[in-house]
A and B are shown apart, each in its own frame.
Chain A
Amino acid sequence: MERAKQFFKTWLLWDMITGLRLTLRRMFEPRTTVFYPEEKTPKSRRFRGMHALRRYENGEERCIACKLCEAVCPALAITIDIAEREDGTRRTTRYEVDMSKCIYCGMCEESCPVDSIVLTNIHEYHGESHQDLYFTKEMLLAVGDRYERQIAHDRAGDAAYR
């Protein structure tokens, strides 16, 4: 009996028909495609994208040039030079992130004692050459200024879980 069943299963291509039925059913099921530039999937508050340097509300830059981020960076993407400013505070004269080296691990943000360097949730940025992806201090501060609202919002929402 079992052998007869197997015989008919083989010669009537039963397994193949089962497979064909599956794909046919799939054809009429809803699709999961997201039409990217028009549609976007929601991003996590912890998304690690483009870097930014933040400022305090009074406009003073947060960075105190402790160099923790430079030390912790596993890809050695951060370069920092330090000098004393006229008012006697310790500030960076150079703060550069090589975006083509960065692995977006987020350890710079974690190590920062003043929440200065952060990773925003922007991932759609590009450069036409290697140099374009070498972000200087001015560029990073500009990013921070521009997206401060988003950055603060994400950090506030996530603060309870940190």
Chain B
Amino acid sequence: MIDAMAHFFAEWGTLGMLVWTLLKIICIALPLPIIVAFYVYAERRVIGATQWRYGPTRVGPYGLLQSFADLLKMLFKEIIWPQRANKGLFTIAPVLVVITAMASWAVIPVSDKLWLTDIDASLLYIMMLSSVGVYGIILAGWSANSRYAFLGAMRSTAQLISYELAMGFALVGVVLLTHSLNLLEIVHHQEGGILSWHVWPLLPLFFVYWFAGIAETNRHPFDMAEGESELVAGFHVEHGGITFALFFLAEYINMIIISVLIVILFLGGWMAPFPFLNEIGFLGITPLGDGFLWLVVKVVFFLFAYLWIRATFPRYRYDQIMRLGWKVFIPLTLFWVVIVAVATQWSRMFG
């Protein structure tokens, strides 16, 4: 059906292509903030539950509309540009962060038949975008002309760069196994049930990627960039109203992306854990077979883990974060990448 729609719009010429592209953008930009809104609500409820309280319960049934109320409030707030702030960069920074976060979704396949674009090096594309996202943070901290923001941006940048290395090496392991940078091919390489998922041969890399992902999104316990007790809010102290909301949105979109990527790279994406689940069904519908549902189930676990970890652990000290990144994660990934490389080469030559 998607192909048919693409053909339909292609017949219109340039205008058709524009409309088609716009539709694709809307496909990402509309559902994501809604998902994020409910995720923020879930976060407040989960953390409340771990602390013997409820979290939001007033706005809408069970407080479900709380995030929308918050969003509405932020929309109507005045944007304050600090004195002597670089107004242009100050405004562009949150936009840049959101754009990079949303653009990553273009290549993420959510089921066997559902994705927006299928480019050859989609993994590389996502890595690239997450690196560009750092610029938004630097610009935000730099242009605000505030010590707190600047310190937060510096910390955040250092942290992102250190952990991106570990993340990149963890991805090298995946690429060595699959010989592909394409997310679809990576998922298809894991066909055949829970035992053929990448998580088993790449177990250390899986954990490194997971924890580095938490650090990469500046979430607890690696939220040095925000560090409420030291830096007020870190790189976005001076941003208010909708500019702050954009940073907030980007952070949560990035969290969802990391969770989806963990699932796609290591846990078989939309594959069912047991192949026989594909046989169960009637009228040609296999509700428990491979598909969107399994992706959602796995991703929700990792999204929950984000909140669970946040509710449990205190913040790392800054030098501890750097030590963990450089002295534990990077050597560990390097070591395991060598093992994976030797093993794959061995099996190709002799196996």
Contacts and interface: CB of A to CB of B under 8 A. Distances in A.
A23 B54 contact: no
Interface stretch (B1-9, B109-117, B304-312): B304-312
A23 B312 contact: yes
Contacts of B53: 31-33
Nearest to A28: B49
A43 to B, nearest CB: 21
A20 B307 CA distance: 11
Interface residues of A, number: 15
Given A31-B54, A33-B54, A26 B49 contact: yes
Contacts of A71: none
B21 interface: no
Interface residues on B, range: 10 to 19
Contacts, number: 35
Contacts of B83: none
A32 B54 CA distance: 9
Contacts of A20: 308-309, 312
A152 interface: no
A148 B286 CA distance: 72
Contact of A26 (B50, B54, B57, B309): B50
A32 B313 contact: no
A26 B51 contact: yes
A23 B312 CA distance: 6
> Most B CB atoms within 10 A — which of A16, A22, A31, A32?
A31
B282 interface: no
A19 B308 contact: no
Contact of A24 (B48, B54, B308): B308
Nearest to A16: B313
16 contacts: A20-B308, A20-B309, A22-B312, A23-B308, A23-B311, A26-B49, A26-B50, A27-B46, A27-B49, A28-B49, A29-B52, A30-B52, A31-B54, A32-B52, A32-B53, A33-B53
Q: What are the 5 tightest A-B residue pairs by CB atom distance, in nearest-first order?
A: A27-B49, A23-B312, A23-B50, A33-B53, A19-B312
